[in-house]
Every structure is written in structure tokens, then in C-alpha cells.
Amino acid sequence: MKNLKWGILAVFSAFLAVIGMASNAAAQQESTWDRIQRTGELRFAVFNFPPYFVKDLSTGEWGGGIVEMAKDAAAELKVNFVPVDVGGWGELVLALTTNKVDLAGGMQATPVRATSIDFAGPIYWIEWVTVNNPNFKGGANWSDYNDPSVRVAVQTGSSDQVLLTMNAPKATQSQFKELSQIILAVSSGRADAFTTTVLSSLIAKEKNPGLGTFNSPQPRTSLPGYFGIRSEVDPRFRNYLNWWAEWNNKLGLNDARMRESMLRYSGISEIPDSVSFRE
């Protein structure tokens, strides 16, 4: 009888262990959508990178163009927006895969990143533009730069270099490691122009009066920015974000958020009418 009692206890303990493991497995497999609904919180990755992510040191509140997008996505779900400081761009994938955050913003959906996480959007588009040396005329079209006699400064190994090669393959590329070196080369006349994102270009133009015209060459060149999310079977969170992005882009709301944040946080006094954060 004693052996029978211990046998029954052993079987019961094993049963409880199996139930416990099943519960833990279920908890680990909880989808992002279910977690948000259960907790009433949307955790969003932030770090200091104006004008996308900006922390008000007096209040501790986060603002910026992409932060405002995430706040609206949370408000539409009627859940609390919870910013989580992750440190920088290089930490976004890890923060998602380790379940530190539910959502990250401003990411480009590269093939390598897509092996680890999923994406929703696009939530905006960022243009590549040019800034000339004062003595160089032209810039309405990429063909104005597509000549071996034209020296265009770019950052080595960057998207700037890739897009210049695509749009003006015959241009002579002057490659530099830092944007400050590029600005000096153009303002001093060692290069005729440089190309980079509209954000970096407008900031550089604002801070360096020695630079010439700002241009949005045609055909327009832009890359989309996405929300980053965890890869999971449950499609509801991704579907929600995709429809949220389409709605806000169609109405021009994300374009307005990006413009407002650039004017507010980047020290830019004016954004040319030619600039757009829409497709």
C-alpha cells in the first residue's frame, strides 16, 4: 500500500509538472496582439534621435515624428503608449526578438532584418535630395549630375552612394566617411554637390550658409520606413498596423507629423514645397 501511495503521488506530481510546462509554453507563445489586449499597453522602442525620437528632459515625455505615429496607433487601440528606451538603431531587432518592446519605428525592411523580424507599413517615405556648391547650376533632374565632369560627394558604403549610382551612374563620386567632410568639400568647391536624405540635407543647408541650392531631383527617389514587429503566426497586430499606415498615409497625417517634427526639433526654419514624406 505504501508503494502504491508513493506511486500515485509520483504520477500526480508528474501530471502537475506537465500542466506547468504547458502553461509556461502557452505564456511564451502569447501573441503580441493578445499581450497588448491583456495588459492594455503598447510598448514602443525609443532613443534620442531628433526629429524622430525626442525626450523632453523637463517632463520625461517623448515626442518626435515617429513617436507621434506610435502614440496614435496606441490611441486607436485604446491602450496606453509605453516608451521603452533601447539605446539606438542597432538595438531595435534585439529589443523586438527578446520581447522587450512590441513595436519599433523608422526601420528599413532590409532582407537581412527580415530573417529575424517582420515589418508593417510603410509608415512614411524619406527622399534623397542634393545640395549644390554655389557655383554649380542645375539639379532639377538627376541627369544634371550624370556626367563624369560633375563631382558628387557621398558617404562611403551608405545608401547615399547606392542611390547616386542608380540615378547618376556617370557622375564622379567623391567619397568621404563623415557628413561634415562632405559639407566642407562642397562648400569649398572640391565637389559640385552632395546627396543624402532630405533630413540631413536640410539641416546641413540651415547650418552652412556657404552651401548653394537645395534640390529635389526628378525622378523622385525615396525609400520607405516601416514599423518593425516580431515574426509570429498571429497576423492581427501586423494587419492592424498595415491598415493604420494606409489610412494615415492616404490622409497625409504621417506626412504632417514628419514635417512638424522637423520644424520643431531639427532647427529647420522652412521645408520646401517639393519635399514630401508620402509615396
| pLDDT for 27 | 47
| pLDDT tens per residue across span 216-239 | 999 999 999 999 999 999 999 999
Mean pLDDT of 122-148: 96
| pLDDT for 3 | 55
pLDDT at 2 over 60: no
As its CATH architecture, domain 127-215 has 3-Layer(aba) Sandwich (3.40)
Of 66 and 20, which is predicted with more confidence? Answer: 66
Query: How far apart are the C-alpha atoms of 146 and 152, rounded to whole Å?
Result: 10
| pLDDT tens per residue across span 27-58 | 458 999 999 999 999 999 999 999 999 999 99
3-class secondary-structure state, position 137: coil
Q: Residue 123 corresponds to which cell in the numbers above? A: 509608415
pLDDT at 59 over 80: yes
* Distance (Å) of CA 275 to CA 66, 148, 167, 214, 224: 17, 28, 18, 11, 14
pTM of the model: 0.82
Q: Which residues contact 233 (CB under 8 A, 6 or more apart)?
A: 31
How many CB atoms lie under 10 A from the CB of residue 108?
Answer: 14
Query: Domain residue spans in the chain?
Result: 32-125+223-265, 127-215
Is 32-125+223-265's fold the same as 127-215's? yes
pLDDT at 208 over 80: yes
Mean pLDDT of 161-171: 96
The domain covering 32-125+223-265 belongs, at the CATH homologous superfamily level, to Periplasmic binding protein-like II (3.40.190.10)
| pLDDT for 13 | 52
Query: pLDDT-based confidence at 267, cuts 50/70/90?
Result: confident
pLDDT at 199 over 70: yes
| pLDDT for 8 | 52
| pLDDT for 34 | 98
Q: Determine the straight-line distance between the first and last CA of the chain, rounded to whole angstroms.
A: 78
HSE-CB of 116 using CA atoms within 13 angstroms: 14
